[in-house]
Amino acid sequence: MTDTIETAEARYVTDSLIAEDIDAYLVQHEHKTMLRFITCGSVDDGKSTLIGRLLYDSKMIFEDQLDALTADSKKVGTQGQEIDFALLVDGLAAEREQGITIDVAYRFFNTEKRKFIVADCPGHEQYTRNMVTGASTADLAVILIDARKGVLVQTRRHSYLCHLIGIKNIVLAVNKMDLVDYDQAVFDGIVKDYAEFARSIGIESFTAMPISGFKGDNITTASANTPWYKGPTLVEHLETVEVLSSVDADKPLRLPVQWVNRPNLDFRGFSGLIATGSVKPGDKIRVLPSGKTSAITRVVTYDGDLDEAVAGQSVTVCFEDEIDCSRGSVISVADNPPQTADQFESTIVWLADEALIPGRAYWLKLGTQQVSATVAEPKYTVNVNTMEHMAAKTLDLNAIGVAELTTDKQVVFEPYADNRTLGGFILIDKMTNATVAAGMLNFSLRRSQNVHWQAVDIDRKQHAGLKNQKPAVLWFTGLSGSGKSTIANMVEKKLHRMNRHTFLLDGDNVRHGLNKDLGFTEADRIENIRRVGEVSKLMTDAGLIVITAFISPFQADREMVRAMLPEGEFIEVFIDTPLKVAEARDVKGLYKKARSGELKNFTGIDSPYEAPRNPEVRIDTTVISPEEAAELIVNTLLGDA
């Protein structure tokens, strides 16, 4: 690496300490603060070029890389015979071919005063989800504007997302000033336009600067081409702005437990990354959601015990008392703990090609906590161009909406505005394990705090004991015409003759009363199954054996019901009948109507059926009779199979 790189506009010199005392330099380097920032804005605003310039001017390029960059610039660059700095960042073949950024590119560099991780975010609207990923951990955002074009739609979109995600430090970098002859009037006009928009979405302040990523103006040293600009250069600002970890260190302790560290019988500690606050031996702490209290005896790291640890450090802490604490628990100061709740208002950025299905159960990951969650129909979506609130039934790719969210158990949280770790979450599809959304918890719903479980003297165990049976749900699933209702009815008759206490919930019968308000859209089908699941759970609490006969076409929804019940009480019975056979029976004439288009969203025709992967019982109706099937199911239930 060269010690000094000179351009027409900038001369950047490394710290002389590196040559005088390498050990002292390394110690100094080790204790530098880290700033994470992103570059964003519209297409061709020069984000990749700016990062390339920062890497170039901070001497993070080896000579062989520089040679390759020079050769690539001539071959696929966009700057004629001059160096195309964007090629240092745009690594995908598709990015180089199109001259755009598609995926988020992370780069590391450092200066004399600070270390940096920068995320180069794509400008195209279709890659907004990639931009959200990069912004989620950033302390600062550099929003670039092409001086020739001014404030564009993507400028507004990315600014809104940065504000939504909680980035407080925003740099408005008016780029390509060399292409407008460094005209101050152009710069001032863009800053004025952006300031009006920024105020409308709640951005309180930002730092504006005229730059040229390609020429190097105001990147590392003040440019002679902009004598009218008296502010800091970009690097000077990045080196001095307050980082998020220093702000978080002043907040109350929040330590999400990642794992219980038990290397031997003599040591038990709780490991995780301190989200906010600080911790030291002797501190009184509270573990949530259990609420148990204790005191810290040790703060342990790989390099030895610490007198104190602060936000941003990964540590293992030991307690004075043996109290319950496991992965997903949150360690906090005893007198100022976070909240717990299971219903929230949330802001959601949808990241998947498949739209949100209201009522569908997703995995929600919040810090180290993972629970099952459902999202209600959105209250509204936000048009980021006009800030208008628009009515919506669902959320499509890149949509931003506000919706109520319910988890299957209490989670420890704080509003996202106060704590990113305990307020920011992702949603994961239970079937594919794909991340489908990122979100922010705004506040808990009052009804979740006002509704409590009422203690009762006669519990489910006593109800079952009185009936001399183990409660269970026999969940029959299969295509229409597969024989679910017929076999379920036979099973109930057999159990009745054996003096078992049962109740049969049939799909058609339930839709005459409890679910008469529901149709057959995917969302309504999910709600239909959720309600039946809740009713089934109440019936098992009463000690009954519940038999249900529903198509229940979606695996995720059947798993949702399984999760409602104690382990072993949900018995999935797959009535495996081929579509051709089921359609041939067509007792109700439904397939005929579906084929003719009279009946929409019919399972097997224009709506999918997801067969169970590992059902407790599988019945092939092409090889055994309904009577034989009923006998097999009863034997399985009673443990005779």
Catalytically annotated residues: 552
DSSP string, 136-171: TT-SEEEEEEETTT-S-HHHHHHHHHHHHHT--EEE
Ramachandran area for residue 487 (φ above 0: left; ψ -120 to 50: alpha; else beta)? alpha
Spatial distance between the Cα atoms of 397 and 3, rounded to a whole number of angstroms = 47
Taking residue 482's Cβ as centre, other Cβ atoms within 10 Å add up to 26
Residue 396 CB: number of other CB atoms within 10 A? 14
d(C-alpha 62, C-alpha 419), whole Å: 39
Cβ-proximal residues to 4 (8 Å cutoff; 6+ apart), any chain? 11, 12, 13, 14
- CA dist 324 and 291 (Å) reads 10
Residue 366's DSSP bridge partners are 369, 425
**Residue 130 CB: number of other CB atoms within 10 A?**
19
Asked if 63 contacts 2 with a C-beta cutoff of 8 angstroms, the reply is: yes
- Which residues does 251 contact at the CB level (< 8 Å), separation at least 6? 276, 277, 311, 418, 419
Q: What count of residues does the chain have?
A: 641
- Of 296, 299, 340, 342, nearest to 319 (Cα)? 296
On whether the CB atoms of residues 558 and 572 are closer than 8 A, the answer is yes
With residue 638 as reference, give the H or E element that holds it: helix 626-638
CB 50 within 8 A of CB 41: no
Tokens 């059902």, residue located: 615
CB neighbour list of residue 491: distance below 8 Å, 6 or more residues apart: 474, 547, 630, 633, 634
